Amino acid sequence: MMLKDYKEKIKEADLVLVGIGKELHANRLVDYSKEIKNEHYQKLLGQEDEKSLWMRTVYERQYLLSLDTVDYFKELEEVLSDKNYFVITSNDDGLIYHSGLKKECITAPCGNGDFFQCSKPCSEQLYPAKLGLDDLIAHYETTGEIETLECPKCGGQFIFNVRTEDTKSVYIEGAYLSSWANYTKWLQNTLNKKIFILELGEGFETPSLFRWPFEKIAFYNEKAVFVRVHKSLYQMGKELKGKGAAVQMDSREFIGL
C-alpha cells in the first residue's frame, strides 16, 4: 500500500493529521554532493575531522535555507489540497516549509535551522542563521579558515536552534511556540470527527512528540483511521486493531519518491 491507495479514505475524512519523522529528513532526501556545486564544499567531502564536518553543515544549512519550492512532498500536497489538516514534524531541517503545504498548518518543535542560539544559553535570544552562514562561508572561501560564531552577549559559541540528543538540555523553544499553540488548538476540534491520521517515518527518536500521542488520539476517537508507515518500526498495539494499518515500507517509497 502507498499513499495513493489511501486517497479515498483521506477524501472521506473531516480532518487529516500528519506526522513526519526521520525517514523523510533532508539528509535522506537531498543528495548534497550533487546539489551543492560549490568547489569549496566539494573539497570538504570525505573529510571527517570536526572542523570539516562543521563547515559542511554550514554549507548544507545555507542550501536548505536558500531553497524555493521543493517537490519532495508533492503527492502529500495533492491529497491534502482541499482538506482541513495539520502537519507536525520531528525533523529539524525546515524542508517541509519549502513545500506547497500551508505554513500556518505546520509545526516543527525540534527547530528548523532558521536560527542560531547561544550554546549556554545566556538568554532566550535567537539570531537569524542566514546572515551568519553567509559570513562563515565568505570567510572560509577567502581565507581557508573554518570559524564558528560567538554569542554577542557572553562570547559563548553559537549553535543551531535545533533540538537533538546533544542540545535538548539547552534548546530554546521560543521559535515554534506560536505554531504549537495553533496545533494544540486544532487538536481540540478533532473529537468525534472523522480523522485520518498518517504517521510517516517516525521511529523512537522522539516518540512523545507524536508517535504516542497519535496512538492515543486514534484509540479514543471512534471515527479515527490510523496509518503508520516505517521500514522497521511500523508495528501497532493490539488496542488499535481494526482502526489502523501498519505499513512496512520506507516512507520515501510510500509518498512516491
Summarised one tens digit per residue, pLDDT across range 245-257 is 999 999 999 999 9
Predicted pLDDT at 242: 87
Predicted pLDDT at 205: 87
Predicted pLDDT at 244: 86
CB atoms within 10 A of CB 129: 24
- Please, is 238 exposed, middle or buried when counting C-beta atoms within 10 Å of its C-beta (0-12, 13-18, 19+)? exposed
Task: Report pTM.
Answer: 0.95
Predicted pLDDT at 38: 97
* Cell, residue 241: 486493531
Residue type, 47: Q
- Which stretches of the chain drop beneath a pLDDT of 50? none
Domains of the chain, first to last? 3-254 (3.40.50)
Predicted pLDDT at 26: 98
Predicted pLDDT at 139: 98
Query: 150 CB contacts (<8 Å, ≥6 apart)?
Result: 156, 157, 158
Predicted pLDDT at 53: 97
* Cell, residue 161: 536552534
The three-point CA angle 58-165-91 to 5° equals 60
**Cα distance between residue 138 and residue 104, in whole Å:** 34
The three-point CA angle 16-19-23 to 5° equals 140
